[in-house]
Structure 1
Amino acid sequence: MESRAQLIVHPSYFMDVISLINTYHCDELVFEIHDNYVKQTYRNRCVIATTNGKNAISIPIIHQKSGSSVPYSSIEIDYSEKWKLNHLRAIKSAYQNSPYYEYYEQDLLELYAKEESSLMKWNLSCTQFLLEQLQILPKISYTSNYQGDIKAQKLITAKGNKHPIYQSYIQVFQEKHGFLQPLSGLDLLFNLGPSSRSFLKSQAALCDFK
């Protein structure tokens, strides 16, 4: 299968599996850094599989003046809440029995030890973490102005079912809930580990949205 030359994405909190599939099949990953902050998106949340089903864990942000567009790059994380500790506990509770959680746990702890005041910078670090662990190495670049890319907007949207269906893989709570999607790329990493690359390779660069 031929790779897509370029994929534009909005930096997200541990990009989801559908974004990873598209990223694997691109030559150049372009981060949109000139957009405005939008609620109900993966900019400040990711979805994991827990014993109770899908759970969205969200990063608290410092809210700015309402009623006006706020640049995404200016959004700061609210560290008055112990969100990192809570998120690490939620991730461990969800995936400690997965085949590869312990293998990646120390690297994950080192990532969460970083202090980034900017939500966008934190999300770029999270994306880099996933790409490095999965050994996905596209050329990385950044937009010089806002692109308004439709696919990028759909990939970042967390509200509603806008994602195509991809092939199932073994998940920790699959016997209880069936195969859950869309989920954060952490789910793929902890369940498949090094085999994640084979999974991503086997999926078409999914362009159609339900």
Structure 2
Amino acid sequence: MQELIIHPSYFPDVISLIHIHKATQLAFEVHDSYVKQTYRNRTNIAAANGKLSLNIPILHQKKGHSVPYKTIEIDHSQSWKSNHLKSIKSAYYSSPYFEYYQDELEQLYEDIPELLLDWNVKATMFLLEQLNIDKEIRNTSTYSNDSKAKQLITAKAKQTIILDPYIQVFQEKHGFLQPLSGLDLLFNLGPAAGSYLKSQHSKI
């Protein structure tokens, strides 16, 4: 695989991270339209009651019009930031590596941009840095209409990839859950996450 085009998402899921890990270069699609039911404003974690979706509220623009993703603003009037942090901490405080990354995660949430795209790029870069994934990254100059990028960003897309299980919190209660945010991989595997991602290259 050469260059991978992705729509920046709210903490990319593990399957997206496998694609990113395998790619030699990465391009952020920044000329697309905002689409609902995608990972642009949501991410999934493994909570005590099963898979939990964390959703970022946005300021809605005129209906019936195609709205550029890069113009979508986060609705900061809602207390989503503190709620998401509490949910992540509640879900992963007992995981092997949460305390190791907790300070950096809380620091990330201290400065959230106005635009959803900017925040998602920041959240994606945080994950890549913590996972030691170093790629040459660029922004697209025009809309690419890349089919793989659209599949990876679609929350309701049918999952055709069956990942090898890794130890998750609450696994005895709910079994191995996927797709989940890369935070799940980071907090459960820590420094071994990169080796896991590499081991899954043949799945994609």
Question: TM above 0.5, one fold?
Answer: yes
Contact preservation (8 Å) 2:58, 2:73: yes
> How do 1:40-79 residues align onto structure 2 when only pairs under 5 Å count?
40-79=37-76
Q: Given residue 4 of structure 2, which amino acid in structure 1 is its aligned partner? A: L
> How do 1:36-115 residues align onto structure 2 when only pairs under 5 Å count?
36-115=33-112
Corresponding residue of 1:25: 22
Give the CA deviation at 1:27: 0.8
Give the CA deviation at 1:157: 0.4
Corresponding residue of 1:128: 125
Report the identity percentage: 60
Q: Work out the CA distance in 1 between the residues paired with 2:192 and 2:164.
A: 14
Give the CA deviation at 1:20: 0.4
Corresponding residue of 1:116: 113
For structure 1, the residue ranges without an aligned partner over 5 or more in a row are none
Contact preservation (8 Å) 2:93, 2:99: yes
Aligned partner of 2:137 among 137, 140, 148: 140
Contact preservation (8 Å) 1:25, 1:205: no
1:172 aligns with 2:181: no
Q: Work out the CA distance in 1 between the residues paired with 2:80 and 2:32.
A: 25
Corresponding residue of 1:203: 200
Q: Work out the CA distance in 2 between the residues paired with 1:110 and 1:121.
A: 16
> How do 1:153-168 residues align onto structure 2 when only pairs under 5 Å count?
153-168=150-165
| CA distance 1:145–1:26, shift in 2 (3 Å) | same
Give the CA deviation at 1:115: 2.7
Q: Given residue 183 of structure 1, which amino acid in structure 2 is its aligned partner? A: L
Give the secondary structure class of the aligned counterpart of 1:193. helix
Q: CA RMSD in A?
A: 0.9
Q: Work out the CA distance in 2 between the residues paired with 1:51 and 1:64.
A: 35
Give the CA deviation at 1:166: 1.1
Contact preservation (8 Å) 1:95, 1:190: yes
TM-score with structure 2 setting the length: 0.98
For structure 2, the residue ranges without an aligned partner over 5 or more in a row are none
Q: Given residue 142 of structure 1, which amino acid in structure 2 is its aligned partner? A: N
| CA distance 1:123–1:131, shift in 2 (3 Å) | same
Corresponding residue of 1:182: 179
Q: How many residues align?
A: 204
Give the CA deviation at 1:164: 1.2
Q: Work out the CA distance in 1 between the residues paired with 2:49 and 2:157.
A: 20
Corresponding residue of 1:16: 13
TM-score with structure 1 setting the length: 0.95
Give the CA deviation at 1:206: 4.1
